[in-house]
Structures are given as C-alpha cells and as structure tokens.
Amino acid sequence: KAGVTQTPRYLIKTRGQQVTLSCSPISGHRSVSWYQQTPGQGLQFLFEYFSETQRNKGNFPGRFSGRQFSNSRSEMNVSTLELGDSALYLCASSGGASAEAFFGQGTRLTVV
C-alpha cells in the first residue's frame, strides 16, 4: 500500500513568485491536511480538505490556498512569496474511524 507522496521534495523560489505543491494521499483516504513546519513556530495547521471541500482553515494569510481534486489529490499554492514562507510543508492523509494521520516526506521550500 503506497504511502503519502509529496512533490516536489525541494524548491527554491524568489520573493514575489508563487509556488504550487502537490500531495497524493493514501488510496481510499478522502481527507488531506497541510502543515507548515519552521524552527521558530513548530508545526502549524494550514487547512484540511475533505471530499474536495475545505473543512478547516488555520490562521494563515490569504496568500496560502489549496484545493482537492476528485481523486483526493491535493495542491496548495502560495502566492507572492516572502522570505518567511521558507519552511518544510507537510501533508497528512487520514481515513477510517480511527482518523490516524499519515504524513508525506514533505516539501522543503526555500525563498531567496
């Protein structure tokens, strides 16, 4: 059974650019959540998508957005990148009554 796949693994972008990250959940899981991890703030929740609808949203500016497709794959987009957006972005896939979360390997975004 394949795990959670995030692409790309590494990205370097310039301030002001935009970026799109992708996450493919475990087969059969309909929930995908995104988290930002930085040394100073730890792991912070960005948003959750369930069956193509945003179900939860964290406290991030509108530059951070996401979507989910009918096959449950999800993308997150960050527009007008700032230096402070440099972080490890993790996505989690959840399903079943236990709601156990499984994480991908993350995308390391560096903004220069």
Which residues are near another protein by CB under 8 A?
A: 4, 6, 31, 33, 35, 42-43, 45, 48, 50, 55-56, 58, 88, 90, 92, 94, 98-106, 108
Judge whether 78 and 85 are in contact, CB under 8 Å: yes
CB nearer to another protein: give 12 or 43: 43
CB nearer to another protein: give 79 or 95: 95
The number of C-alpha atoms within 13 Å of 101 and in the hemisphere containing its C-beta is 11
Judge whether 82 and 68 are in contact, CB under 8 Å: no
Q: Measured from the CB of residue 32, what is the shortest distance to another protein in angstroms?
A: 9
CB nearer to another protein: give 19 or 34: 34
- CA torsion angle 96 99 105 110 (round to 10): 130
